[in-house]
Amino acid sequence: MSSTKYSNLTREQLLDHIEKLEAQISNTTNAQNDSDSSELKHKKKHQREQKSRPFDMSKYTKRKIALQVAYIGWNYCGYASQNKPETIPTIEDMLFKALISCRLVEDIDKSDYSRCGRTDKGVSGLGQVIALNVRSKKLQSDPSTDLLPSDKEFPYVDTLNRMLPPDIRVLSWAPVQDDFSARFHCTGRTYKYFFPRNKMNIENMRKACTYFEGPNDFRNFCKLDPSKNVLSYERIIMSMKINPVQYTQTVGVGEGSEFYEVELKGTAFLWHQVRFMMSVLFLVGQGLETPEIVRDLLDIEKVPAKPDFPMASDLPLVLYDCEFKGLKWTYSFRDNQYDPLPSSFRTYLHYNEEWTIQMIRTLTCQNYLTKVAKFPVVMPDKSIKTVEEFSEERSVVNSSGVANIVLGGGKDIRMNKYKPVLQRPRCDTDELKKSKFEVRKKRKLDRQQQEEEGDKNTPQVETS
């Protein structure tokens, strides 16, 4: 073995030399790490500075568009914003948040926003339409006066859906004129209301629907709000039909378990109008009222004020469609060319997942229902029947006069002795409500004026 400069070193000297070499390597590595760390920190700082720069909306042009919005309203306090998104969440609150987060809008109040309609708490919508001015992909520096075609514009549908919760989706968008109003340019609104047949007489309900059709005064089928100062309660119901719900196979699950839907189309609707209409329709279906009760309640001379009857449930009600003339909807980013994963298909997959989840929940409850339906019940003659047989034999009004009044959505109320609608206590007429409102309003203004005058007459005490 050839000699080296380490050959004559003792073991202790070699170990000492190794320690010195390791220390040198460690110092070099630490210095390199410090340098890399400093460079990384500088890079992150630069990225933060870039992110913190305010977005310059003025670089872009604006355009007015309509958006078709679908939502499941069960977890929201209605569609219209109450300006309290933390405590009173609404569909509109979620839409506004997404529009601002996507930098499509800076200020909703300055966007010329309009909506086709406002739905109640718990009510869903498949065809809600809104309109507003949003940011366009076209820059202000672009000398062209033309708007961008749909396939060159921002992917509004995809952009918003990435920011929205699972129970709200934008389905499509359409370019509109600057004077377009989602509310006033709508030519027709269609609602659907789903219900199980139970013991309902569907033919009697269909006859009652015919009385609703046409122009009528619906003040006895809505909630009167004198603060709104509604001048006319006449609305036009273009059609109102009852049909079996497609794609459901619930026959045999229980008595009257097959589902039907009421589909009604009108030009516009009053506050809670559809739910009050459904409440009376259920009374007709149960045989507690004749179909002509609808005709009587629409006769304002005969019934000038609404009798006391409750609203139907919000759960089964859907704003199904809103119609407009001349709108060309864009459902995917590039509708005019092949896309292996178009926006509309992604929306379909999303609702397929939601449907699967809800169907699994439905099947779970259905298994519970059919199992309990086989439990034994003792009859007055000591014979034994199943719960299902017991349910089938029960009448709407039992021998003691107690009636179970259907409200839809699986809800009902018990009435110890059913009183026909026309014999019930009446609410105040519209005129009386407005008169009382004006009196309250004047009292409030007088009280405020007195308080202001009292403040002026109170001597001011100087304090040092």
Residues known to be catalytic: 120
Cα separation of 51 and 373, whole Å? 61
Structure tokens that stand for 40 in this block: 């990384």
Spell out a b/e string for 77-109, using b for 16 or more CB atoms within 10 Å of the CB, else e: bbbebeeeeeeebbbbbbbbebbeebebbeebe
Measured distance CA(359)–CA(247) in Å, rounded = 12
Which residue(s) pair with 185 in the sheet? none
Report the C-alpha gap between 112 and 64 in whole angstroms: 9
Contact 136, 76 (CB under 8 A): no
Nearest to 70 by CA among 99, 94, 100: 94
What is the DSSP annotation of 369-423?
HHHHTTSEEE-TTS-EEEHHHHHHH--SB-TTS-EEEEEETTEEEEESS---GGG
Sequence-ordered strand ranges (E) for 176-288: 188-196, 214-217, 234-244, 259-266
Note every long-range contact of 461-464, with CB atoms under 8 Å and residues 24 or more positions apart, other chains counting.
none
CA distance linking residue 380 with residue 394, whole number of Å: 13
Q: Which spans in 231-342 are helix H?
A: 273-285, 292-298
Q: Which helix (H) or strand (E) holds 137?
A: strand 124-139
CA distance 359 to 355: 6
